[in-house]
Chain A
Amino acid sequence: MRTGRTVPTLTPAMIAIWLAFATVPLWIEKVGLYQYLGVEILIFATYALAYNLVLGHSGLPSFGHGAFFGLGAYGFGLAQLNLVPDLWFCLAAAVVVASVGGALVAAFISHRRGIYYSLLTIAFGQVFWFIAIKSHAITGGEDGLLKIARLPARFGVATFDLTHNISLFYFVLAIFVVVSLLLWRLVHSPFGRILKAIKQNETRARFVGYDVWRFKAAVLVLSAGLSGLAGGLFAMAQSSAFPDVMSLHYSGYIVMMTLVGGGLVTFWGPVLGAIVFLLARDVIGAVTTGWMLWFGLLFVALVIHKPEGLGGMFIRPARPAPADAKK
């Protein structure tokens, strides 16, 4: 960041992205795709943005984030089936359950760095996944939690039915707008800049007085909560919740989306990554069941030729060394 420059809350790129998404239901079927794919893309874009708070913005290599997405999905489903079938209540439940899961993990890993941090996130991810499969009475085990309803969105006087994919799409878009706006502000806030400082040099950050572990714990809880929100929306979208989203496999997908899109170098990279990933799944998947093989090869090619990810094509290179600095 240049000297004391303030960062605008709304940017042209941000508004362009929101508007572009808003047009999707108008043409998505005309290009041979289907409305539900738009919903899925927005949910994973939200999830990827939340995940990138940890990976890209804080440099914390979490490889077990599926656990939080899954906790959100189950939180939403269980709250609806056992407590109160109200949309806002169930989404709040998704956020709270995932945040509590995040806090639990954070308590164990916030003093760790690098590979140890990664290994612990994987281990915890596996624990949550295992519990989801084994607690048959609560989660339905591998059969999943079924009959989750797409609850109507009540705004005081008005109520919107979300059973159709197009209305659900606009509801998810509204949440995506709010989440991306919040994250954009957060990344450019004092809290966000400190995260970035910790990412670059944890030791230095401690020696200028920062309780580094508190920041690492806070950002994990936040990211887990928002991932849980995405998970809750996903449970609603597919009217069910399954343990597979918590598997190491799925945790790997979100890492891939984020990296492919360029989450390490640009704020919107994860959104691009989610679009590319899900389109590849459908487009390549229509031709061959081994779509992951081809996507994997694409990923390899990308890492070799454009290691910063696709988003790297849209940003100017970092300021070059000052010419007179070479003396």
Chain B
Amino acid sequence: MALFEAHQLHLRFGDRVVLEDVSLAFEAGRLSGIMGPNGAGKTTCFNVLTGRYRPDRGRVMFDGADITGRSPQAIARLGIARSFQLMNLFDEFTVFENVAIALPQTRRRGADPIGQAYGDATVVEEAHELLDTVGLGARADHIAKALPYGERRALEIAVALASRPKLLFLDEPTAGLGSDGRARLAELVRRLKGQVTLVVIEHDMEFLFSLADTISVIHWGQVIARGSPDELRTNPWVKNSNLGKLA
């Protein structure tokens, strides 16, 4: 059994079917890629997998447990983290504080109404470690909203990593980045690979084909193809679609 499995997910918004019979499996330690055109239902799929939406039908399994319909916070505490396609940071906080607030130590002290906010000795150390990992070590004291776009993307990942996840969902991590930024992000994802199970939605085919162990193609809310990058290169649909340009 894979670390994370989705079985026959269905979801409708009104009379619009957005996910239809979507089944996915993500193996521990691997990087699974998800691709597909805009509006295909990729982000919605992440939203179902991470508890934001409850599917109309289907099941979501993590580590052998059924987590369908659990709240985002409950799922997060099981060790599943995510980044957002549209960035979602604590804008008024410093870079350091964005990460520190997401650390499990801070969460465990959440009911403490008089102690020092980040008084746990390990918080400063671990937050800096994480910031170094994503290349933001020198930015710790800057306000998040003042960061340039590429660094906000990196911070988005650092916040997700702060909860020490077993599984990390990244929704278009390179969206809006120039070639420099993409290269830096690819480098970061490459380093994360092996340390944490990754599931990455990405438009950038070069990025995905060079990093992913397996790729699923979602179109019209359905999984229309899946396989290793090599298998998908020869897939007729991928070849014919503009998604396959690079393959």
Contacts and interface: CB of A to CB of B under 8 A. Distances in A.
Chain A, interface size category, equals 35 or more
Contacts of B90: 197, 200-201, 204
A322 interface: yes
Interface residues of B, number: 52
B165 to A, nearest CB: 10
A303 to B, nearest CB: 21
A319 B96 CA distance: 14
Given A209-B163, A325-B146, A4 B96 contact: yes
A194 B106 CA distance: 9
Given A3-B94, A208-B162, A190 B142 contact: no
Given A201-B88, A209-B73, A190 B96 contact: no
Given A322-B142, A327-B148, A1 B113 contact: no
Interface stretch (B24-32, B53-61, B74-82, B191-199): B74-82
A46 B159 CA distance: 36
B152 to A, nearest CB: 10
A2 interface: yes
A163 interface: no
A209 to B, nearest CB: 4
A192 B90 CA distance: 14
Interface string A300-327: 0000000000000000001111100111
A288 interface: no
Interface of A: 1-4, 6-7, 182, 185-186, 188-194, 196-197, 200-201, 203-204, 206-212, 215, 318-322, 325-327
Contacts of B127: 3-4
Contacts of A208: 76, 81, 101-102, 107, 159-160, 162-163
A86 B93 CA distance: 46
Interface of B: 50, 71-73, 76-77, 81-82, 84, 88-94, 96-97, 100-102, 104, 106-107, 109-119, 123-124, 127-128, 139-143, 146-148, 151, 159-160, 162-163
B94 A2 contact: yes
A4 B123 contact: yes
B107 A321 contact: no
A1 B71 CA distance: 29
Contacts of A209: 73, 76-77, 102, 104, 107, 163
A211 B140 contact: no
Contacts of B112: 189-191
A7 B159 contact: no
Given A3-B141, A4-B118, A185 B148 contact: no
Contact of A190 (B89, B104, B106): B106
A2 to B, nearest CB: 5
B89 A204 contact: yes
B73 A190 contact: no
A197 B92 CA distance: 9
B146 A322 contact: yes
A200 B91 contact: yes
Given A191-B112, A201-B91, A209-B76, A1 B107 contact: no
A192 B109 CA distance: 11
B81 to A, nearest CB: 7
Given A2-B96, A204-B90, A193 B101 contact: yes
Given A191-B110, A207-B82, A318 B143 contact: yes
10 contacts: A2-B96, A3-B96, A189-B116, A201-B90, A207-B50, A209-B76, A209-B107, A209-B163, A319-B141, A325-B142
A212 B88 CA distance: 16
B111 A207 contact: no
Contacts of A197: 90, 93, 101
